[in-house]
Amino acid sequence: MPALRCPWLAGTAKSPLEVCPLYYWNWLRHIVRLPETTNFPTAPDPAVAEMSDPAAIEMAARPSDPFPRRSIALRHLDAGSCNGCESELSLLSSPDYDFTRYGFSFTPSPKHADILVITGVITEAMVPIIHNVFEQMAAPKRVLALGTCAIDGGVFAGAPGVVGSLSGIVPVTVAVAGCPPSPGDILRGLLTIADHRDPLASRKAVSR
């Protein structure tokens, strides 16, 4: 069998982790481990600031209805992305960015959602679906346009079947530019929706 000839299948290197027989017992190790989570964007972190674009955040006029400041549920909608924004968005729940420390979480239902996060070029086929998902959300609700494609179509502007913009479909509250935007910038965008100010713009301590 060819499998037996491949050294990469033969077994993994011995490591200190192997003293734990089951994965569950990792919590013991994590008690003594310091958090890997960045303090960006509400406190300085040069490593993450390096990957951030200071001009990424664009705000629309402040909506008139009040919005919860914390404990905000996100519904993600892919409207024609290249899966780059998804890759970065899924890292928000990683230990490195841990967006739950600011009160954010993903929800599988638009009916529980407060923010609709839209990625991708906005294809014609997705327009009625975007309408539907937005209507299913209860007020107060906000829309985050994530990535250059969701803002103006990016390199795909003018492609057949590509609308290229959310204008006239749903009201965009905050747009985060970038291709793809770094997880730090996505966090800034979410906090901008909650507080209606970019945490980087309002705190000198977090300057690059």
Partner 1 sequence: MSTIVTAPPTQAVRTYPTAASWLEAWSALREHGWETVLLDADEEVNAVLMPPSDDPQRENLVTLRLITQGPHRERRDPPSARDILETLDAEARIAGERADLGWAVSEPPPVRGKGIFVYPLGPVRADVAESMLYRLVVMGDEIVQLNLRHHFKQRHIRQLVLGSTVLEAMPVIARFTTTSNVHHTLALAAAAEAAWGVAPHPDADATRVLLAELERAVSHLGDLAALAVSTGLTVPQMEYLHLKEDLLRVNASLFGHRYLRGVVCLGGVNWTALPSHADPLQATETVAEILKVASGIAAQLERTPSFLDRLHGAGTVPKSAIHQIRPVGPVGRASGRTFDVRQRLGYAGYPADLQVPVLPQADAYARFRVRVAELNQSLAIVLSRLAAWDPTRLRQKTPAETAFAEPPRSPEGLGVVEAPRGLLAYRLVVDASNGRIRHLGVATPSARNWPVVPAAVANGNILQDFPIIDASFALSVAGWDG
Residues that bind partner 1 (CB under 8 A): 1-3, 5-9, 12-13, 15-18, 20-24, 26-27, 30, 36, 47, 50-51, 75-84, 86-91, 93-97, 106, 108, 110, 120-121, 123, 125-126, 129, 133, 149, 154-156, 158-162, 179-180, 182-183
Please, are residues 120 and 148 in contact by the beta-carbon 8 Å criterion?
no
Cα distances (Å, whole numbers) of residue 196 to 57, 67, 135, 187, 202: 11, 10, 23, 13, 11
For residue 136, the minimal CB distance to partner 1 (Å) is: 10
Lookup: tokens for 39? 């303090």
Tell me the closest approach of the beta carbon of residue 127 to partner 1, in angstroms: 11
The smaller minimum CB distance to partner 1, of residues 21 and 168, is found at 21
d(CA 145, CA 77): 10
Q: DSSP state, 171?
A: -
The single residue listed with the structure tokens 């803002």 is 151
For the CB of residue 205, give the shortest distance to partner 1 in the complex, in Å. Answer: 22
Nearer to partner 1, 93 or 197 (CB): 93
